[in-house]
Chain A
Amino acid sequence: MSQGLLSDAFLISLIAGAVAAGIPLLLAGLGEQVSEKAGVLNIGIEGMMLFGAYAGFATAFGTGSLWLGFLAGAAGGLVLALLMALFCVRLGLNQIVIGIALTLGADGITALLHHVQFSRTYPRLPRVETLDIPGLSEIPILGPSLFARHPMVYVALFSVLVLTWLFRKTHVGLNLQAAGDKPDALDAAGISVVSTRTWSVLFTGVMAGLGGAYMAMIGAGIFVPFMTGGAGFIAIVLAMLARGRPLWVLIGAFLFGASLSLTTALQVGGVNVPTDVVQMLPFLMVMIVLVLFARRASLPAALGLPYVRGQR
């Protein structure tokens, strides 16, 4: 295989990296999309991802099972989401203050726990077994990077379909949208805004936790403090730009995943670019997209506002 850009090695590394870095963004972005739809701006998602990453890694390391790790990751995200739901949805406290608090708290707690448990050994998980899809996984270049992955990748992709169906075809989707756009109307129709929002926040927690767990267990194979490094915030942007469409979250997640994994891919291709420059790419892309499509980034009308019945 030749060196340089557009060589097979570069492309495989880029696509594989885009998937590896994109899946956590996809899972978290889909979760955030649901809660934004319902009117809760979940700034705490960064913390939920990090907590999921820690819980997933610690469990997978302790038990040797990735599936138990994913379960623990989801539970980790859920715990923070329960706090978020209690404080922001039930009590109507400021969503941004609580979101920052949860992120800071998760930063601190996971770093402390990591220090106590892993800081002397820095253990790694063994290489992940993959589920090769017969036939498809033998396509050159695309095959190994897309169709020979851990099953969780397929679960994440499948959830795009499920959510699209949910938003378009079901009452649940309508209720979510009403909770974010016109909570009064939902309330008048006899459906509780508070419980609709509570469920959506809890769902976000589970998805963010899964995303974090994937990042630590499969993406990196190791847990390091602050490892999410802003991925949760990118997920928020993805959800904002996707305007309620899960497929757009998927496209965005893989685009950002590709720009996140460009450093490694470029090195494989024999080009050396300073890491700091490449690290700017995803954030630069967000800003460019926002500048270009600024007017189209619409958000639910009641986003960020607590719902109090009868209050104007």
Chain B
Amino acid sequence: MTQAAMSQEERHHPVASAWRRWAVAVAAALLPIVLALGVGALILLALGADPGAFYYHIVKRGLLSWIGLQDTITRCAPLLLLGASLIVAFRAGLWNLGIDGQFLLAAVISAALAPVLVTVLPVWLVLPLVMVVAMAVGALWSLLPALLKAYHGVNEIVTTLMMSFLGISAANVLIKLPFDDPTTTVPQTATLATDDRLPRLFGSTINVGVAVGLAVILFIHWLMTRTAFGLRLRLVGANPRAAVHVGLPLGALMVAVFALSAGLAGLAGAVEILGVWGNVRADWNPAYGLMIIPLVFLARFNGIAVIGFVFFFAVLSIGGETASRKAGLPNYFILVLVALMLIFLALTEWLGQRRQMAARD
């Protein structure tokens, strides 16, 4: 809908509007964040914490210290892939709200598979192979919601959420029963040796996963905005009836969207395990899913903008751990911040639409 407004402005002021467009877009993206941080500060005050110190520790730990910055950049890898996953689904008008289950199940399968495979195959082959398997696991976990949506019109919000809960429990069953490492006391999978994990970059603790994440999200952005295939998917989202009318196989395209989206969520799980943890402990669930949705919305489904927001969120989540500890609070404050951002995002969007409508009249 912003595009409609742009073209109208351009008709009146063809040159000057380019700068204004950028300024408005940046302001519209930053305003919700600023407002959320402001209201968040009030909540911190109410909880008896010092908001200035809290935000200072977030920046200091997540951005300004070298160790923290490496953690932040490492954290970006799965988030970028999950962002790419959601861009595919949301641009095609499908709500894949099951990425947590897809992520976790793929992570557990990767953790079970990699330590076994490295004993028979060279590492350079094992790592990509495990990633492909993880993508297949994620895609498979979305097959049922995809088929139900594509051929029976069953609301995918509900089915993907249900499959997500199922996937999280199934992952725990797998860890505790078939994949349990008997040599450890806590239930967890076997551990992939540090030397066999994703290679690290330039002597830092950052692994190559973040490069994979960047490449994938740029590719997805290009795919969705610059190719005929992407255009078809967007048409499915924008107007399914028109899509049928021009002869697109609606059902097959929907299944493809789910497979791609859930496959990328599975890849995120593999990258997190092969790059950072090397194993999965029982009841481990970072629950990135609901957190990454607002970022994708803030970025208006734009892959390049998602990179910026993911980095911002990674700083917030790495720095937030330290800041919460210093303030004597649990790490749940980030949840509140994200919720506030979503609400202010929706409000800014609404104000923008009203402005456009006023301009048209």
**Which residues of A are interface residues toward B (Cβ below 8 A)?**
41, 43, 83, 87, 91-94, 96-98, 100-105, 107-109, 111-112, 115-116, 119, 225, 230, 233, 236-237, 240, 274, 276-277, 279-280, 283-284, 286-287, 290-291, 294-295, 297, 299
B154 lies within 8 A of A297 (CB) = yes
Q: Mark B326-361, 1 if CB is under 8 A from A, else 0.
A: 000110111111111011011101100000000000
Q: Which residues of B contact A236 (CB under 8 A)?
A: 158
Q: Which residues of B contact A108 (CB under 8 A)?
A: 332-339
Shortest CB distance B332–A (Å): 4
* Cα distance, A96 to B336, chains bound together (Å): 17
Q: Which residues of B contact A91 (CB under 8 A)?
A: 347, 350
Query: Within the complex, which residue of B47, B339, B349 is in contact with A101, where a contact is CB–CB below 8 Å?
Result: B339
Q: Does B290 contact A (CB under 8 A)?
A: yes
Interface residues of B in 152-179 (CB under 8 A from A): 152, 154-155, 157-159, 161-163, 165-166, 169-170, 172-173, 176-177
Q: Does B294 contact A (CB under 8 A)?
A: yes
Q: Which residues of A contact B291 (CB under 8 A)?
A: 104
* Cα distance, A96 to B159, chains bound together (Å): 15
A299 lies within 8 A of B330 (CB) = no
Please give me the residue from chain A that is nearest to B48 by CB atom.
A116
B152 lies within 8 A of A295 (CB) = yes
Most central of B47, B332, B338 by chain A CB within 10 Å: B332
Shortest CB distance B339–A (Å): 3
Q: Does B297 contact A (CB under 8 A)?
A: yes
Query: Within the complex, which residue of B162, B294, B332 is in contact with A112, where a contact is CB–CB below 8 Å?
Result: B332
* Cα distance, A62 to B16, chains bound together (Å): 62
Query: Within the complex, which residue of B154, B159, B290, B346 is in contact with A98, where a contact is CB–CB below 8 Å?
Result: B346
A100 lies within 8 A of B290 (CB) = yes
A287 lies within 8 A of B333 (CB) = no
* Cα distance, A299 to B161, chains bound together (Å): 18
The 6 closest A-B pairs by CB, nearest first: A108-B335, A105-B339, A101-B342, A108-B336, A294-B152, A111-B332
A116 lies within 8 A of B47 (CB) = yes
Q: Which residues of A contact B176 (CB under 8 A)?
A: 274, 276
Shortest CB distance A131–B (Å): 34
Query: Within the complex, which residue of A119, A233, A294 is in contact with B161, where a contact is CB–CB below 8 Å?
Result: A233
* Cα distance, A285 to B254, chains bound together (Å): 24
Shortest CB distance B44–A (Å): 10
Q: Does B55 contact A (CB under 8 A)?
A: no
B158 lies within 8 A of A240 (CB) = yes
Q: Does B92 contact A (CB under 8 A)?
A: no
Shortest CB distance A279–B (Å): 5
* Cα distance, A111 to B332, chains bound together (Å): 7
CB pairs A–B below 8 angstroms (10 shown): A96-B157, A100-B293, A103-B290, A108-B338, A233-B161, A280-B169, A283-B162, A286-B158, A287-B166, A297-B154
Contact flag A87-B148 (CB < 8 Å), given A109-B336, A283-B166:
no
B95 lies within 8 A of A233 (CB) = no
A115 lies within 8 A of B343 (CB) = no
Contact flag A97-B350 (CB < 8 Å), given A111-B335, A280-B170, A291-B148:
no
Q: Which residues of B contact A225 (CB under 8 A)?
A: 332
Shortest CB distance A115–B (Å): 5
Query: Within the complex, which residue of B155, B162, B350 is in contact with A287, where a contact is CB–CB below 8 Å?
Result: B162
**Which residues of B are interface residues toward A (Cβ below 8 A)?**
43, 47-48, 95, 144, 148, 152, 154-155, 157-159, 161-163, 165-166, 169-170, 172-173, 176-177, 290-291, 293-294, 297, 329-330, 332-340, 342-343, 345-347, 349-350
* Cα distance, A97 to B208, chains bound together (Å): 33
Contact flag A93-B350 (CB < 8 Å), given A237-B158, A291-B148, A297-B154:
yes
Q: Which residues of A contact B338 (CB under 8 A)?
A: 101, 104, 108
Shortest CB distance B240–A (Å): 14
Q: Which residues of A contact B148 (CB under 8 A)?
A: 290-291, 294
Q: Which residues of B contact A83 (CB under 8 A)?
A: 343
A115 lies within 8 A of B330 (CB) = yes
Please give me the residue from chain A that is nearest to B341 by CB atom.
A101
A233 lies within 8 A of B332 (CB) = no
Query: Within the complex, which residue of B144, B163, B335, B343 is in contact with A87, where a contact is CB–CB below 8 Å?
Result: B343
Shortest CB distance A18–B (Å): 19
Please give me the residue from chain B that is nearest to A116 by CB atom.
B47
Shortest CB distance B361–A (Å): 14
Shortest CB distance A246–B (Å): 19
Q: Which residues of B contact A109 (CB under 8 A)?
A: 43, 336
Shortest CB distance B335–A (Å): 3
Q: Which residues of B contact A96 (CB under 8 A)?
A: 95, 157
Shortest CB distance B187–A (Å): 10
Query: Within the complex, which residue of B152, B177, B333 is in contact with A274, where a contact is CB–CB below 8 Å?
Result: B177
* Cα distance, A297 to B159, chains bound together (Å): 12
Please give me the residue from chain B that is nearest to A91 by CB atom.
B350
Q: Which residues of B contact A237 (CB under 8 A)?
A: 158, 162
* Cα distance, A225 to B342, chains bound together (Å): 21
Most central of A96, A98, A104, A274 by chain B CB within 10 Å: A104
Please give me the residue from chain B that is nearest to A282 by CB atom.
B165
* Cα distance, A277 to B340, chains bound together (Å): 35
* Cα distance, A294 to B169, chains bound together (Å): 24
Shortest CB distance A76–B (Å): 16
Q: Which residues of B contact A287 (CB under 8 A)?
A: 144, 159, 162-163, 166
Shortest CB distance A151–B (Å): 32
Query: Within the complex, which residue of B157, B340, B349 is in contact with A105, where a contact is CB–CB below 8 Å?
Result: B340
Q: Which residues of A contact B144 (CB under 8 A)?
A: 287, 291
* Cα distance, A61 to B345, chains bound together (Å): 37
Q: Which residues of A contact B169 (CB under 8 A)?
A: 276-277, 279-280, 283
Beyond A100-B290, A115-B332, 20 extra complex contacts between A and B, CB < 8 Å: A92-B350, A97-B297, A97-B342, A100-B294, A100-B342, A101-B339, A104-B339, A105-B336, A108-B332, A108-B334, A112-B330, A115-B329, A237-B162, A240-B158, A274-B177, A283-B169, A286-B158, A290-B154, A291-B144, A299-B155
Q: Which residues of B contact A97 (CB under 8 A)?
A: 293-294, 297, 342, 345-346
Q: Which residues of A contact B330 (CB under 8 A)?
A: 111-112, 115, 119
